Amino acid sequence: MTKVKSNCPLRGFRPCKEHDCSWYVQLRGTNPNTGQEVDDWGCAMAWMPVLMIENSQQQRQTGAAVESFRNEVVKANKENQEMLLTEVVKKQPKIIGDQTKLSFEDE
C-alpha cells in the first residue's frame, strides 16, 4: 500500500508543518464509513470528506426526527378537531327571535 505524501497545497506542496500549522487538527469520534473509533491528527482539508459524510448523516437523522414530530403534531391536531366538532354537534344552536345572536340550549 502506498503512503500518501503529506504535502501542503497551501504552501506550494512543500512538506506539511504538522503541529506548527493551525490547520493541523486532532479529530476524535467515530468514522462514519467504518464505525471505528478515530483519534488522529491531520490536516483540516484532508478531514473534509469524512466530516462532510458525517454532516450528511446528521442531517438525515434531523430530517427524520422533524418528520416524526410533524406527524405527531398532525395527529394531535386531527384529534382536537374531531373533539371540537363533536362538542359543537352536541350543542345545537338556536336562533332567539329575529336576533342574529346565537344561543345554545345549555345557556
Domain extent at residue 40: 7-104
Grid coordinates representing 16?
Answer: 506539511
In a domain, 66, yes or no: yes
In a domain, 44, yes or no: yes
Residues 6+ apart with CB under 8 A from 30: 36, 37, 38
Q: What's the confidence (pLDDT) of residue 4?
A: 72
User: Does 104 have pLDDT greater than 60?
Assistant: no
Grid coordinates representing 93?
Answer: 344552536
Q: What's the confidence (pLDDT) of residue 98?
A: 61
Grid coordinates representing 46?
Answer: 484532508
In a domain, 46, yes or no: yes
CB 95 within 8 A of CB 102: yes
Kindly report, residue by residue over 17-28, the tens digit of the pLDDT: 999 999 999 999
In a domain, 37, yes or no: yes
Q: What's the confidence (pLDDT) of residue 54?
A: 87
Mean pLDDT score, 90-104: 62
Residue with cell 430530517: 63
What is the rounded CA–CA span in Å between residue 13 and residue 82? 68
Kindly report, residue by residue over 36-82, the tens digit of the pLDDT: 998 999 999 988 988 898 899 999 999 999 999 999 999 999 999 99
Specify which residues 24 forms β-bridges with: 43
In a domain, 2, yes or no: no
- Number of structural domains (the chain) is 1
In a domain, 84, yes or no: yes
pTM for this model (two decimals):
0.60
More confident residue, 82 or 9: 82
In a domain, 1, yes or no: no
In a domain, 86, yes or no: yes
